A and B are shown apart, each in its own frame.
Chain A
C-alpha cells in the first residue's frame, strides 16, 4: 500500500499531541515525504541480528 503522508500526518500528529496549523501542512507533508524516502534507504538495509546500536566509538 502506498504511503499517504496526509493521512499519516493527521493520525501521527494526534498520537503525539501535536497540532499542525493548516498553513504549515503542505510544508510538513513535503518534509515527511522527503524523510520517508531517506528513511527507506536505511530501513531496507538487511541488518544482522547481532548488530546493536553504537553510542561509543574507539579506534
Chain B
C-alpha cells in the first residue's frame, strides 16, 4: 500500500447525518466487505462503479442511484490524498452521480416521452465493462504466449567476468597451503646452489665462431650482452682463450680495462 492509499477500515468516523438515507440495509456499512477495498484496486471511477453494481447483483438497467451514490461517496472518502489527476476523475464521477440522483427526483408525467437520466451512464458502464473483459482476454493470451518461445530467444550464455565469479577458495585450502609453506620453510636450506641450465664453454665457442663468420672483429662485451650474467661472461672469456690457443682468433686490448676486441685470425689486418 502506498501513502496515497485509502483504506476505509483505517479511518474511524462517527455516523454522519448524510449517511442516513432512505435505502435500507446500509446500517452496517463499515463492516461491509464490499466497501472495504482500497481505491488503488480500481482502474478508475467506472471500474469502481461496476464493482459496486456487479457485487450486489444490481440490475444495470435499473440502478438505484441514491444507494450507489452513497456507496460511491463512501468509497472515495479521502480521495484527495491520491494524486490530483486521479482524485479529479473520481470526484467528477461523484458529481455526475449526484446530478443524476437529483434528476431522478424531478416529477414527470407518465405518458411523457421519458429520457432516463441514467441512460448515458449505463451506456458508458456497459462499454467500459466490455473493454475490461477484453483486457482480461488479452491478459490470458499474454500469459499463454509467454509460455512459448521463438527461435533465437535464448541468448548465448555470456562469460562472466572473473571478478564476478564467486570465490570458491575455502578455509581448508588456505590452511593446507599454509601448512605446505611451513613444511618447506622447516626443511634445511641446501649449502649449495646450482644453475638450472649450466653454460658450457663449447656452446660459447660455437657462438663466437658464428659471430666471426659474419664479421672480422667483435667487441667482447657484444658477445656477452645477450645474456649478461657472470657465468656467461666467464664462459665466453674461457672460450675466447681456448680459441686463441687453437689460433682461430686473436685478442687485442689497448690498455687494461679498455675494450677487449676479438679478431678473426685469417683476417690479414689482425695479424
A and B: real partners? no
List the interface of chain B (C-beta within 8 A of A): none
List the interface of chain A (C-beta within 8 A of B): none
